[in-house]
Structure 1
Amino acid sequence: MPPHVWVVGSLIAQEGRGDFFSTINAILVKMPGSEVALGFLVLASVVSWAIIIFKAIQLRAATVESRDFLEKFWAAKRLDAAFQESEAFQRSPVSMVFRAGYIELARLRKQAEDTMLGGGIENVERALRRTQISESTKLESLSSFLATVGSTAPFVGLFGTVWGIMRAFHDIGKHGSANLATVAPGIAEALIATAVGLLAAIPAVMAFNFFLSRVKVIESEMDSFSSDFLNIVKRHYFR
């Protein structure tokens, strides 16, 4: 191939690639990347705060009512009296565990015509465990969303930052200058995306860790109460 033909072909190819990348750049810059990122982060932050408030109320009620129920339970002389008291503590996981165990115990006693039970303690234990799992699931609900926001929001903010920098460089190329008036809007947009991403992530992570610790405490209380309840039942109702 003659040298001049090769040179002309190379120039045409380079020009074609330049037009292609210019077109892609123009399309990308016109797309609302930063706006979409900011909108997502604001929405995620609003939902996160709604969940944080809801979970704070839920766990607070669970903690307070469980404490009050345990006081009533240990002060009661009979299990049926404690069962009646437990109706006032519907938001207490410990109370729900007790109610499930007592209902199963009452069913077994009815079948045995209120005599000493020779077997069936496994049924009571299963009822307690089943309710513990159900209550733990309720306590842990929605917390995964906070963990997701905490792990993804910084990256979404970084995406908005990159998009804002792309726009800043595009504006520099379009105006042919790199003065403050040209660069500042894009950089400011980029920094806003980063800040909003962190503002969405930090409270979500802190709340998730706090709620996780509170759930573990309540689960420990349920385990401890289940053991105590089983011991009482074995001593008084099973031979």
Structure 2
Amino acid sequence: MEQSLGFSHFLAQIDHVGMCVLALLLSLSVASWYLIITKSISNYLATRRANTFLKRFWEVDSLQELKAEMKNVSADNNAFAQLAKLALDVTTNSQKHGLEKLAMAGGAGDFLTRTLRNGIDQEATRIENGLTIIASAGSAAPYIGLFGTVWGIYHALIQIGLSGQGTLDKVAGPVGEALIMTALGLAVAIPAVLAYNAFVRRNRLWMAKLDAFAHDLFTIVTVGSKVGDDVKVSSADNRETSFAPATSAAPALEGRQ
């Protein structure tokens, strides 16, 4: 009676090495899909929160009103709000304690620049979390599947040689079953590669937007702190210094590559 071939028969005939390869591919698939789903949801929520915060931020009319508004804004899961809070905290501390602290050596402007840079670097580290696993799954899974295929063909040919039946129908079935490993490797790798490229592009655009906001924030905080609370400005001056996106980049903050 002819023995049926297929994935179930392949699993029944696989040895310990093949099972290890299959388990490794399954682990990579589960890990990559978990990160793909969780990071997609996290990025969507972060983008929505950031857009809401930026809309409220640019509606503020003065630095004093911004400080009052930021007290009611949570900086959790919002990189833009975190940068704004850091900048306002630096301004408040420099006004209260002067420039005597070691961290403020070089002037308030340099200290604000370093603080914004550190905030951007921390956000860059946070959004890159998990990308290594996705990239590893995309690059290594095809080779792991290919190793499983080679190992399966090797054992299939040995069994065929011992049986002495080298006809095409006896060779094609086991060799075809061994190719399942290569298909599984590609099934793991292709979604991981596509997701990795999508996340890298999103992170690049996200960091560019955050860097531009840091330039605007630097200008707003430095200009606002120089104006002071006791200076009276006309309505025309208010229009000129309103919190619209800056058209020129503030000095001392280098753009990220």
TM class by shorter chain equals 0.7 to 0.9
> Are positions 1:73 and 2:57 aligned together?
yes
Partner of 1:104 in structure 2?
90
Deviations 1:100-138 (A, max 9, x none): 1111111112224xxxxx941111111111011111111
Aligned partners of 1:184 and 1:31: how far apart in 2?
Answer: 19
SS of alignment partner, residue 204 of structure 1:
helix
Superimposed CA distance per residue, residues 190-233 of structure 1 (whole angstroms, 9 cap, x where no aligned partner):
21100110011001010011011111111011101110011111
- What does residue 234 of structure 1 align with? 222
| Structure with bigger gyration radius | 1
Match of 1:163 among 140, 145, 151: 151
Equivalent of residue 128 in structure 2, options 140, 151, 154: 140
Q: CA deviation at 1:150?
A: 0.6
Aligned partner of 1:120 in structure 2 is 108
Alignment map for 1:1-239 (pairs within 5 Å): 32-77=16-61, 78-87=65-74, 89-112=75-98, 119-179=107-167, 182-238=170-226
**53-62 or 200-209: bigger deviation:** 53-62
Shift in Å, 1:37: 1.1
Q: Contact 1:172 / 1:183 at 8 angstroms: preserved in 2? A: yes
Give the conservation status (yes or no) of the 8 Å contact 2:87–2:221: no
Q: Which residue identity does 1:107 align to in structure 2?
A: N
Q: Please tell me whether the aligned partners of residues 168 and 185 of structure 1 are also in contact (alpha carbons under 8 angstroms).
A: no
Deviation at 1:144, TM superposition (A): 1.0
Q: CA deviation at 1:31?
A: 5.2
- Contact 1:161–1:191 (CA<8 Å) still a contact in 2? yes
Give CA deviations for 1:35-81 in whole Å, capped at 9, x if unaligned.
21111101110111001111101111221111111101111232213
Whole-Å Cα distance in 1 between the matches of residues 23 and 125 of structure 2? 31
Rounded Cα–Cα distance in structure 2 between residues aligned with 1:146 and 1:222: 24
- 2-side partners of 1:232 and 1:160: how far apart? 59
Structure 2: stretches of 5+ with no match in the other structure: 1-12, 99-105, 228-257
RMSD: 2.2
Task: Give the structure-1-normalised TM-score.
Answer: 0.80
Contact 2:94 2:108 in 1 (8 A): yes
**1:86 Cα offset (Å):** 2.9
Identity %: 34
Write the letter of the residue equivalent to 1:104.
V
For residue 58 of structure 2, give the secondary structure of its aligned residue in structure 1: helix
CA 1:221–1:82 in 2, change beyond 3 Å: closer, same or farther? farther
Higher relative helix content: 1
Alignment coverage as a number of residue pairs: 206
> Residues 124 and 215 from structure 1, CA distance in 2 versus in 1: closer, same or farther, beyond 3 angstroms?
same
Alpha-carbon distance in structure 1 between the residues aligned to 2:117 and 2:77: 18
SS in 2 for 1:178: coil
Q: Measure the CA separation in 1 of the matches of 2:55 and 2:211.
A: 17
TM-score, normalised relative to structure 2: 0.74
SS in 2 for 1:131: helix
State how far apart, in whole Å, the 2-side matches of 1:60 and 1:43 are.
26
Partner amino acid, structure 1, of 2:162: K
